[in-house]
Amino acid sequence: MIQKKEIKYLASLKQKKFRLINQEIIIEGSKLILDAIKNNQEIIKIIYCKKDEAFSKIRSWAKEHNIPLNLCSHKDAEKISDTKNSQQIFALLKFKLPKKIDEIDLTLNNNIIVMDGISDPGNLGTILRTCSWFGYNNIMLSNECVEFNSPKTIRAAMGAHFYMKNIYKDSIQNIIKFLKQKKYEIIVADLNGTNLNKFKLKTKKWALILGNESKGISNDSINGANQIITIEGANKIESLNVAEAGSIIMYYLFKK
C-alpha cells in the first residue's frame, strides 16, 4: 500500500507550481498510460486502486521494466485525480520543460505549429491532438500560452504529448525572428486574410501561427507573416474556435 506522504506528493502535482518544480506529472487512465508506454515516456511508477481490462498489460510491462506498481485506496485515488470521475489508475511521469529558442540544437527543417497566446488548456490539447493526427510534431509556444503539461491539456490531447518531438516556449518576438532566419514561410490564421480556398503555399517549409481565443493573433505575428489566411464562412457568427480553424488549415496544408 502506498504511503501517505507519497499521496500528498502526487496530489500536489495538481498545482502548476509543483509540476514545474518537480518536472513530473500524473497521467490518468489505462488508455493514456498504454500510449505513454508505447511512446517510451519516462514512467516513474504506476498507482492504481482498480484493475480494469487493460491492467494486466500495464502490470506485465511494469514488472518487465522494474517500474513500481503501488496499490492505493479509493479515497487516495480521489485525492490524486484531477477529474470528478477518476479512472483510478495513474502513472507518474517525468517531463522536460519546453526549451528556449536559442537552445535549438537541431537543423529544424520540418513544419512548425506556433501557438501565439492560446489560453484555454482544452484548446491547446485539442490542437496538439490535431497536430499529431497530421504528423506535425514541432511545436512552438509563445510565453503567453497556457501551461503545456497541465492536466486539462493532457486530457484533451489524448496522448499527443507523447508524440511531440520538439517543444519550444519563448517570446513571440524570438519565435518570429527564428522563423525568419531559418526562412520559413510564415502563415498566420486571422479573420482578415486571403480565403483559404485561394491560398497558395509557396514553399514546403512552413510554420502556421494560431492566435489567442479572444485577442486573436499578436501584432508581432501579423507583421512577421508571409501570408495571412482566413476560413471563409457564411458570416452568421463572429468567429470560429481557434482549434477548429487550426484543424481546417492543417488539413489543407497536410494535403499539399
Site residues (CB under 8 A) for a second copy? 122, 126, 129-130, 132-135, 137, 156, 158-160, 163, 196-197, 231-234, 236-241, 243-244, 247-248, 251, 254-255
Shortest distance (Å) from residue 70 CB to a second copy: 27
Shortest distance (Å) from residue 220 CB to a second copy: 26
Separation CA 128–CA 110 (nearest Å):
16
Sheet holding 185-195, edge to edge: 166-170, 138-142, 112-116, 206-211, 185-195, 227-230
Q: Which helix (H) or strand (E) holds 16?
A: helix 16-22
Separation CA 224–CA 102 (nearest Å):
19
Q: How would you classify the pairing of strands 206-211 and 112-116?
A: parallel
Separation CA 27–CA 46 (nearest Å):
10
DSSP 69-88: EEE--HHHHHHH-SSSS--S
Give the nearer residue to a second copy in terms of CB position, either 2 or 33. Answer: 33
Q: Give the three cell numbers for residue 245.
A: 480553424
Give the nearer residue to a second copy in terms of CB position, either 131 or 207. Answer: 131
Give the nearer residue to a second copy in terms of CB position, either 88 or 126. Answer: 126
Shortest distance (Å) from residue 227 CB to a second copy: 18
Confirm if 186 and 224 have CB atoms less than 8 A apart. yes
Give the nearer residue to a second copy in terms of CB position, either 175 or 250. Answer: 250
Cβ atoms within 10 A of the Cβ of 222, count? 17
Taking each helix axis from N to C terminus, what angle separates 242-255 and 121-134, rounded to the nearest 10 degrees?
10
Shortest distance (Å) from residue 234 CB to a second copy: 3
Shortest distance (Å) from residue 107 CB to a second copy: 21
Shortest distance (Å) from residue 252 CB to a second copy: 8
Give the nearer residue to a second copy in terms of CB position, either 68 or 233. Answer: 233
